[in-house]
Structure 1
Amino acid sequence: MTRTTERHRVSPIAVIAIAQLLGTSLWFSANSAAEGLMHAWGATAADIGLLTNAVQIGFIAGTLVMSLGGLADRFTASATFVVSAVAGAVFNLGFAWLAQDIATGAAFRFLVGLSLAGIYPIGMKMIVSWAPDRAGQSLALLVAMLTLGTGLPHLLRATAGELPWQWVVASSSILAVIGAAMIRALGDGPHLAPPARRHAKGRPAALRAFAIPDFRAAAFGYFGHMWELYAFWTIVPVLVAATGLATEYPALGVSGLSFLIIAAGAIGCLVGGSVARTVGSAPVAIAALILSGTCAVGVAAFWQLLSPNWLLALLLVWGATVVADSPQFSALSARSCPQDAIGASLAIQNAIGFAITVVSITLTTALFQRIGPAAVWLLVPGPLVGILTCRRLVRTS
């Protein structure tokens, strides 16, 4: 049953955001264990990219099933989130304690990705169901928590001392279950549409959204952004190691620096959400694309010439801006799509976006093994394409 805001002492938006933080810690839990996997399984940088891609592919499969099958709007959002978070926690434990090599590890990571399809887009739907009039700012908080969730395993690794990598990975499962319990206690928002029935004829609701020009522009801007984002997050640890930053900042090391760079995106999301209240979501999204693209060019061209302090500063700015546009694109899409298919529309947008990340992650990690940090040049087309395809949103906002 839907519960109203008055029954909660803590803001529902904060509850959803924190639960998202805990649930999405499953996403990069394997990346935080990269050093342990290299020692235990003889994994290479490309193998770590393969494990990341297994999550991405699982997420794509899950979002396609949810969007094209209408599942994202046929079941209550809170129930979907809870079941998905618990399932993801179980599969993540399987990766930690049952997997024996890259092949079996990839299978468990695929199942984790499948589960994440019921956490991330459903979390966005829940945000809209509680605060439809503050979607841009609220989604900024949600994606900020996703970003922290992405970096959290690196923080756990940095503070875990000599604990085996399995325990670091398993800690994400505990966090995901706590997130599920929080959403179970919260329930669904008062503005959530009743579960939709499957349409007997015609295109799936999610595909109808692409006939709307503003949704299409927001989606393609998001696709350009996704080319850059997850490939960047994937290579942050190897980028830190290859540029010598870990040697310059031994107290932080690879894991500590990786957490700081990725977690900077949470600040970028919150600042972007605040600015969007005044200028709108479209200008914030385009500004973030311009800044992140500039940082990508700066790192690719000048990483050997910059001092460690300046290089770290550039990476922190890149980390802050690379994800700041994501909640604004989601807000623009949610505002433009059919209101009886918000969950399905966001899910299909996510599915396509994450399919793009599989390509960019594969190419970038493979090229990184050959030419090192200069492989960052591959990420530059993402922001450029995003800027070119979503300009109409500024004129119509």
Structure 2
Amino acid sequence: MTPLASPPTRSFKAVAPVIALCWLAVFFDGMDVNIYGAVIPHLLDDPDLGFSPGKAGTVGSWTTFGMLIGALATGTLTDWLGRKPLVTVSVVLFSLGSALCAAAPDVTVFAAGRFLSGLGLGGLMPIGLALVAEFAPPRRAALATGLMMTSYHAGGMAATGIGLVVAPDHGWRWVFWAGVLPAVIAVPLVVKWLPESPGVLFAKGRTEQAYAVADRYGLDRPGEADVPSTGAKGRMAAIGDLFAPGTRGATPLLWIASFAGLLLVYGVSTWLPELMRASGYSLSSSVTFLMVINAGGILGMLVAGRTADRFGPVKVSAIWFLLTAAGAFLLRAHLPLGVAYVVVFITGVWLFSAQVMVYATTARVYGPSRRATGLGWVTGVGRTGAVVGPWLGGMVIADGNASLGFTTFAVAAVLAAAAISLVPLAQRTRPHAAPGPKTALAGATD
């Protein structure tokens, strides 16, 4: 059987089930990541665990260290084992990690639970991004990515709400028991309804099934040039290809942007309540700031996605990072509570979507056969920033200097803006052109 010359037109309606399932999985990802930041004040006040700001920062870094390993491993293994099985494994892992935290008798066991959660959390994100980039209409890929990532912040808001409602009356442990829900809700739906990548199916020799999935969702039928290489040598070649002509200059810049961006994202997600409390706000108000910044993140994803489809994700990411730096700098001052809520909300609009546009750029820089590997390594190397962010925030909080904390995050935002701005200059060729008057890569580097 030969590929169709012109596949059915791809539309959001056709791929809505894929985006919806990815949305649900990443919702629980965001909930699990933000649960920790939402209950840190309660963990610090629990004498039985023996938490201190320094230890809390270290535990946060163990979480992101697990995410680093999960992202690097999954970004490579998904081309071999498939997207669907690894989505399932990732959700199960962070659900089990949450259960271990809920039952933890001390800091050591708690840290082990967060590390286990990190493995699943880090593994899920690059797969979800790769699936959305593969199935979404090419000219709406950035919007689809932003739409999917609204779920991360909806999950963050849910975690904050659970922390505010449950933790004061029932204790922080019940908040982590809520983190077991993904295994109960999302896994059965993913197993039943999430399609496998046609490219992966084709690489495994399941040609008829690959063509059937491609036809159902309006994708091009895969050919030899569009599928990942198999075997250990193929996986190593996929990593080496990240430094092939046309991408060798962009790859380290994407890594730097992701490092600085994720330092910012996870530093703020972990420490914003404590930074605001150190600035003189009440405990309840400080935790509420986490919900407010995630609400801004949801709006930001939709705005950034539509804007990036028109002007390119590089421009949007760079400008958004600079606006984030301005917001973080403003928060150094003790603002009136209402003004502080507005500044935090607006900063959330820029902060999270700036990092997601790094991913949208990555999805366009690398071709279909290397996209999952490229996203895995950009998110994985970026996780070193996610490891540093919570640790660095803990060190600053331990010294009682909230102003320095906001300044540190502002500097990280400027570094990310500089790195992503240089990606177009590093591009020498424009392979993997998408159909239409403007190539997919051109959209990334405009």
Q: Distance in 1 between matches of 2:337 and 2:171?
A: 30
Alignment of 1:316-335 (within 5 A): 316-335=345-364
Q: Distance in 2 between matches of 1:342 and 1:10?
A: 21
Distance 1:328 1:202, change over 3 A: closer
The counterpart of 1:236, out of the listed 272, 276, 279, is 272
Partner of 2:55: 47
Give the structure with higher Rg (CA). 2
Q: Distance in 2 between matches of 1:142 and 1:333?
A: 16
Unaligned runs of 5+ in 1: none
What whole-Å deviation, never above 9, does each CA across 1:33-85 have from its counterpart, x for those lacking one? Answer: 32332214131222222221111011112222334xx3121122122111221
Indicate yes or no: 2:384 matched with 1:355: yes
Indicate yes or no: 2:88 matched with 1:59: no
Distance 1:5 1:281, change over 3 A: closer
Distance 1:137 1:25, change over 3 A: same
Q: Distance in 2 between matches of 1:18 and 1:201?
A: 31
Please give the TM-score of this superposition, normalised by the length of structure 1.
0.88
Q: Distance in 2 between matches of 1:141 and 1:56?
A: 24
Alignment of 1:95-114 (within 5 A): 95-97=101-103, 99-114=104-119
Q: Distance in 1 between matches of 2:392 and 2:37?
A: 17
The counterpart of 1:172, out of the listed 169, 179, 193, is 179
Q: Distance in 1 between matches of 2:70 and 2:235?
A: 22
Q: Secondary structure at the match of 1:245?
A: coil
Partner of 2:261: 225
Letter in 1 for 2:231: R
What whole-Å deviation, never above 9, does each CA across 1:345-396 have from its counterpart, x for those lacking one? Answer: 1111111111122223212221122133112211122122122222244674
Q: Secondary structure at the match of 1:339?
A: coil
Q: Secondary structure at the match of 1:89?
A: helix
Q: Distance in 2 between matches of 1:172 and 1:25?
A: 8
Q: Is the 8 A contact 1:25 1:152 kept in 2?
A: yes
Distance 1:76 1:274, change over 3 A: same
Q: Is the 8 A contact 1:91 1:111 kept in 2?
A: yes
What whole-Å deviation, never above 9, does each CA across 1:316-338 have from its counterpart, x for those lacking one? Answer: 21122111112211111111124
Q: Secondary structure at the match of 2:369?
A: helix
Q: Is the 8 A contact 1:297 1:380 kept in 2?
A: yes
Letter in 2 for 1:386: A
Indicate yes or no: 2:372 matched with 1:343: yes
Distance 1:73 1:259, change over 3 A: same
Indicate yes or no: 2:417 matched with 1:387: yes
Q: Secondary structure at the match of 2:370?
A: helix
The counterpart of 2:83, out of the listed 52, 72, 77, is 77
Distance 1:158 1:207, change over 3 A: farther
Q: Distance in 2 between matches of 1:263 and 1:119?
A: 22
Partner of 1:282: 314
Please give the TM-score of this superposition, normalised by the length of structure 2.
0.79
Partner of 2:439: none
Letter in 2 for 1:293: A
Unaligned runs of 5+ in 2: 1-9, 204-227, 426-444
Q: Is the 8 A contact 1:231 1:360 kept in 2?
A: yes
What is the CA-CA distance between 1:103 and the residue it aligns to?
1.2
Q: Is the 8 A contact 2:157 2:294 kept in 1?
A: yes
Q: Is the 8 A contact 1:223 1:356 kept in 2?
A: yes
Letter in 2 for 1:239: L
Q: Is the 8 A contact 2:93 2:119 kept in 1?
A: no
Distance 1:276 1:8, change over 3 A: closer
Distance 1:386 1:317, change over 3 A: same
Size of the aligned set, in residue pairs, is 384
What is the CA-CA distance between 1:107 and the residue it aligns to?
1.0
Letter in 2 for 1:345: G
Aligned-residue identity in percent: 19
Distance 1:201 1:182, change over 3 A: closer
